[in-house]
Structure 1
Amino acid sequence: MSFIYITDEGAKLQKKGDKFLVGRNLEILMEIPKEIIEGLVLIDSVQISSDAVVELLKLGVPTTWISTHGKFYGRLESTRNVDVFKQRRQILSQESEFAVKLCKKIAAAKVHNQLTLLRRYNRREEEHAKEIASLVTRLQILQKNIDFVSEKEKIMGYEGASARHYFKALGMMTPSPFSFERRTRQPPRDAFNSMLSFGYTLLMYEIYTALCNQGLSPYFGFFHALKNRHPALASDLMEEWRPVLIDSMVMSLVHHHEVQPEHFMRSEENDGVYMTREGRTIFLRAYEKKLRTMNRYLTGEHSYRKSLTIQAKKFSQALMAEEPEIYEPIRIR
């Protein structure tokens, strides 16, 4: 089974027999047997025929459209898994004790994973070692503070403060062509932030799909505030995974020189920095490799993509039983 990313400008996806064809003008770029498609991501101006749309709906293949800048356009999805009773429970649980306890668990796990990643890279850091060590200490204090509060606003306040310290430290550990001072988005102001934003968008809709498959609504969360058109629950469950999957992957890309400054360009439209087509190809290859990497953090040995599915199922079980203990966020070592 494969996740397919179609990035060729002007390409068109069509169905022919038991295959999908990706073509441009009169040239066939790719033939994809329908049995192997696990998910589909179309970037910017890729077109899709109506018969391909119908077949993807029949197969239940999640199909996502994003821009070359990583902006989410929309998704093609069926309603076969919608469970209104679970979604009603989501709405009723938003301000409950269940929600607060889950917020604490996920916020604490996220900070733990941030600390683990910083410690991995601080071992080789010399120039900023003392300043990074100080930031790590602040993160440790904030992590402990999360355990002693029971208001969602305070939990989010500590989580936000930890993120600022974390990204400041991460920027110091990054090789000079990709070093940065803080997290920037909409638009990203540097190459490192550009990769983070693109990766978070991809990860968000991996989790979105996993939640939909459990019959849940990705839009009713328990941590982030409700906002029109924002999948709050997918964003909530993504928090523990950001350092584990995207931040660590981007650090690997820059430290192993797999991406170069020439793989990025500055937009004249908004002064943001974005990946070139070649840069996106390198990034998507690394992203797929990361999601298919096996791990033992949850029960048994699974790919990280399977782990996302397991966590969505665990959340569903915890929600319906109203027992936050059922859900255990990932904590890397």
Structure 2
Amino acid sequence: MSTMYITTQGATLRKTGERLIVTKGKDRLTDVPLIKVSQIVIFGKASVTASTVAELLEKQIDVCYLTQSGRYIGRIQPEFSKNALLRVEQYKAAVSPEATLKLARAFVSGKLTNLRTLLMRAARERKLSSCEKAAARIEAAIVSAKKAKTVDQARGHEGDGSAAYFGVFKELIANTKFTFDGRVRRPPTDPVNALLSLGYTLLANDLHAAVNIVGLDPYLGYLHAQEHGRPSLPLDLMEQFRPIIVDQIVLTCLNHNMLTPKDFTQEMGNVTKLTDKGRDLFLRQYEERKQAEFQHPILKQSITYHRSFEQQTRFLAKTLLGELSEYPSLAIK
């Protein structure tokens, strides 16, 4: 099952028989079997018929709304899980400094481990000494994070490791038409940051959906501070996936010349956005990456990255319920 992306402005999604059809005027833009769709993501101004919304909710399919440039707005989702006992354990852990710290350490070490792996690969394949040095800094941050006495300390070590990683990220970009001087988030002011920001938004949305499926409260996390309206738990869970999903896609698109500077536009304030063509290509690459299979180190079997979003969330549920002694972040090799 995959995500259906609707990017055409003024388009309409409707269910006809057992198929989902996107039209604009008399033109049929997309026609796919309902059974193959796990989520709908709409960019900008497109509509969904009322009867289709009802059918999607019956089938447990989310409808996520983003701005045309990819900023998250909100979602229509099925009835909340009835697993209240799981959420009770989630709330208990959130008010336990010990439990919160243990989970925060796991999320940080999982992310940093995958950052380090990505850099070590680059150091071996392209003989980049700068990446090797940054990987050593990340390794030190991992060791420190595992010994953190507070959640703030864990966040600090995560920041140190991320700074080392993004300090050499430009070395991973072989395409000389693109430059990267550091992470710029809101708003992104260059093509590389525009890709990273869009990718992280898509990833957060997918983890939000996984959290809903498992029955956890998306607004109560452990590493990310609680703020009104902030989906802290999906943000916690997505940390381990940032380098192996989004960063890998960005590097693939740039280093394989799939995207060129013509696929980006700049608006007032140097705000950089993908063109419609560039965005559609990036979405295809994102979906392909999600459907790629890998050998899960804990399950000892081949699964898709998309399935691993839910699996890692279920591991968290088992940890909260006491079925696992500690949360096993997904660490690639």
Give the shorter-chain TM-score range. Answer: over 0.9
**Aligned partners of 1:315, 1:22: CA distance in 2, in Å?**
36
Structure 2 equivalent of residue 68 of structure 1? 68
Counterpart of 1:169 in structure 2: which amino acid? V
**Aligned partners of 1:38, 1:130: CA distance in 2, in Å?**
43
Where do 1:10-49 residues align within 5 Å? Answer: 10-49=10-49
What secondary structure does 1:45 align onto?
coil
CA deviations over 1:14-73 (Å, ceiling 9, x no partner): 223333221111222222332222211111111111111111111111211112222111
61-70 or 31-40: bigger deviation: 31-40
Contact (CA 8 Å) 1:173, 1:179: kept in 2 or not? Answer: no
**Aligned partners of 1:183, 1:135: CA distance in 2, in Å?**
16
Structure 2 equivalent of residue 305 of structure 1? 306
**Cα shift at 1:80:** 4.7
Where do 1:1-333 residues align within 5 Å? Answer: 1-96=1-96, 97-125=98-126, 129-174=128-173, 175-268=175-268, 270-297=269-296, 298-299=298-299, 300-321=301-322, 323-325=324-326, 327-333=327-333
**Cα shift at 1:84:** 2.9
Counterpart of 1:241 in structure 2: which amino acid? F
**Aligned partners of 1:107, 1:259: CA distance in 2, in Å?**
31
**Aligned partners of 1:170, 1:95: CA distance in 2, in Å?**
37
**Cα shift at 1:323:** 4.7
CA deviations over 1:238-277 (Å, ceiling 9, x no partner): 1111011111121111111111111111122x42111111
Contact (CA 8 Å) 1:98, 1:324: kept in 2 or not? Answer: no
- In the alignment, structure 1 segments of 5+ residues that lack a partner are none
What secondary structure does 1:296 align onto?
strand
Counterpart of 1:87 in structure 2: which amino acid? R
- In the alignment, structure 2 segments of 5+ residues that lack a partner are none
| Residue 323 to residue 30, structure 1, CA distance change in 2 (3 Å) | closer
**Aligned partners of 1:137, 1:2: CA distance in 2, in Å?**
37
**Alignment identity in percent?**
28
| Residue 162 to residue 95, structure 1, CA distance change in 2 (3 Å) | farther
Contact (CA 8 Å) 1:167, 1:182: kept in 2 or not? Answer: yes
Contact (CA 8 Å) 2:100, 2:222: kept in 1 or not? Answer: yes
* TM-score in terms of structure 2 length: 0.94
